[in-house]
Structure 1
Amino acid sequence: MEKAILGLDIGGTGIKGGIRIKGHLEDIRSIPTPALESKEFILETIADFIDTYSHYDFVGIGIGIPGLVDTPKGIVLGLANIPSFQHVELKKFLTERFSKPVFVNNDANCFAIGVHKYGVGKPFKNLVGITLGTGTGGGIVINGHLYSGLFSAAGEWCSAPYLDHNYEYYCSGKFFHHFYNSKPKALAKLALYGDPIAMKAYDEFGHHLGELFKVIMYSLAPEAIVLGGSIRKTYPLFKKSLLKSLETFAYPSVLANLKILISELDETAIHGAVALVDVEEDMVSI
């Protein structure tokens, strides 16, 4: 029987969990994050939430967070929108509490290893995962292994300078907010009805995302780039302009073999957190 693994997605507004067992993610639950409380209070909240899954007798805990992590030690260096959660020894705290192996990583890195392990990225040894939502995140899988870099900061192309800001400003929901004073979902509905302004917005978005893809391709030349996050669902609206932008990439053979894929997984953050444990389990069993 497949062993149960607990995955957690800890964010500034909510803590979400789920159990992967028998090849499926089950029992998805969530609670609000007490973001303004002390780190001690937040740690106890996380532990109490994990306790609600104790009847599964899970073999390990994987955790994704929107911030930087000292991954070997499992120390959260900072967590977006939670002021007190700085330099928190999350792995040590939970390992001592539950006597289970604990793995902590950046949530975009979790997405990348999750789609490689369970999703459309499974056939590829070398891929990049890009999450498109309120912000933009990136994760890297090289030769079948997650590459996190120092403090899980690998793949943070979103922070690199681009035009008058950075890539995240132009390749996330921020673009639609700053330039069109709207949310991606609202503009997508208008674009589907042929609204010219909404269609223009997605054309521009696709162009900027294509420029980001070229940076990724020049640095890593992956076999596949997999899109996640809420904006991935609007891919048909920006696909044409994205591909047009890629036409100026200098190496046609690399471009011709690149696969651009859309993640089909729901709850990708939890899948990715589970994958942190599952990958280690696989290595132990070899």
Structure 2
Amino acid sequence: MMDKLIIGVDIGGTTIKMALIQESGEIVEKWVITTNTKSNGIHIIPDIAAAIKNKIRERSIDSSSILGIGVGAPGPVNMQTGILYTAVNIGWEKPVALREELQALTDLPVVIENDANVAALGEMWKGAGDGARDVICVTLGTGVGGGVIVNGDIAHGIKGAAGEIGHITAVPVNGYYCNCGKYGCLETVASATGVIRLATDELSRNAEPSVLREILSQQGRLTAKAIFEAAQKGDKVAVKVVDNLTFYLGLSLANLGSALNPEKIVIGGGVSHAGDTLLKPLRAKFKEYAFPTVAESTTIEVATLGNDAGVIGAAWLIKYKH
């Protein structure tokens, strides 16, 4: 008997990723539509519904073989009511009845969850988490996102804000301003933009010759990729920048680890592409600051699913939460 199908949806600020996924978690087909944020995002839910209906029609799928639609949305959600509180980056400034509206338009069951949480669930189920039931996922991209899985399920907290790892205070004194309104959040020093900020500051106070200075004068800007490549080649300024970054990140993860003792901490997002240049010093800092039992029993791995983590985690919601 053929697997039933699940539709996974991952709503992003620029694109909405979608996939037809087998019950076993294998992707059958994936596709992308543009996120239309005009008019406070009123077109987003109808666009998702239309794209799903088109795909069902195109592949002549009987709707009875579809278990439902799992959705990762960029903001805090209430899984019980199916309401997304806000998602300012896509124009939703007020609460949106995402589950109810999408169900009405598709006649299929819908489960919604925060996008960072679904990425964590995807990695737990089919990625670097490798089936571990206690996992912390951290996404180091433009910002820093996170999801905390305890005993095989996402920790939500009272208002859906559990796992906001990017907003742990990593620099308690003289920290950079964060978009959340606080100063010194982990996101300000461990995101791609944070790494660039650390490098710019290091160049202003460190007179040593550096390839980063040359890149900055020639191109007018630095990238996280260039900083890690320079560190890999032994550039002293770049090495110091990575040392600072892994200090903040390692200390934050060690404190989380000491509270939760996960089996795995999974690092994803663009910054994770630095591989061992990031992981080696990060693991050393984690070991230094974590409670000894945690330092021995928790491993730090790089995420393996890339952009598919969200849609796969969204499918997990339908399989296990519907």
Greater shift after overlay, 256-265 or 140-149? 140-149
Residue pair 1:70, 1:150 contacting (<8 A) in 2 also:
no
Tell me, yes or no, if the aligned pair for 1:103 and 1:276 is still in contact at 8 Å: yes
Instruction: Give the alignment partner of residue 64 of structure 1, picking from 57, 67, 72.
Output: 72
- The CA deviation at 1:60 is 0.8
SS at match of 2:147: strand
CA distance in 2, matches of 1:18, 1:151: 29
**What's the CA shift string for 1:112-164, capped at 9, x where partnerless?**
21111112213422111111111111111111122222343111121122211
Q: How many residues align?
A: 281
- 217-226 vs 55-64, which deviates more? 55-64
**Equivalent residue for 1:170?**
189
1:196 aligned residue (203, 226, 236): 236
Q: Note closer, same or farther for the CA distance 1:151–1:46 as it changes in structure 2 (3 Å cut).
A: farther
Which amino acid letter does the alignment assign opposite residue 201 of structure 1? V
TM-score (norm 1): 0.90
User: Which structure has the larger Rg?
Assistant: 2
Structure 2 Cα separation of the partners of residues 138 and 198 of structure 1: 26
Residue matched to 1:106: 114
For 1:107, give the aligned amino acid: D
Residues 1:256 and 2:296 aligned together: yes
Q: Partner of 2:127 in structure 1?
A: 119
Tell me, which stretches of 5 or more residues in structure 1 are unaligned?
A: 282-286
Give per-residue Cα distances to partners, 1:234-285, cap 9 Å, x unaligned.
Answer: 131122321232243352122111111112113112111111112236xxxx
Partner amino acid for 1:88? V
Deviation at 1:23, TM superposition (A): 4.4
**Residue 276 (1) aligns with residue 295 (2):** no
Q: Which amino acid aligns with 1:60?
A: G
1:224 counterpart = 2:264: yes
In 2, the alpha carbon distance for the partners of 1:133 and 1:39 equals 23
The answer as to 2:81 corresponding to 1:73 is yes
Between the aligned residues of both structures, percent identity stands at 31
SS at match of 1:248: helix
Aligned to 1:166, what secondary structure does the other structure show? coil
Correspondence for 2:273 among 210, 227, 233: 233
Which residue pairs with 1:134 in the alignment? 142
Partner-residue secondary structure (3-state), 1:244: helix
Distance (Å, rounded) in 1 between the aligned partners of 2:270 and 2:312: 16
CA contact (8 A) 2:251 2:289 kept: no
3-state DSSP of counterpart to 1:19: strand
Contact preservation (8 Å) 1:109, 1:152 = no
* Structural RMSD (CA): 2.0
SS of equivalent residue, structure 1 residue 162: coil
CA 1:189–1:52 in 2, change beyond 3 Å: closer, same or farther? farther
On the 8 A contact 1:14/1:33 being kept in 2, the answer is yes
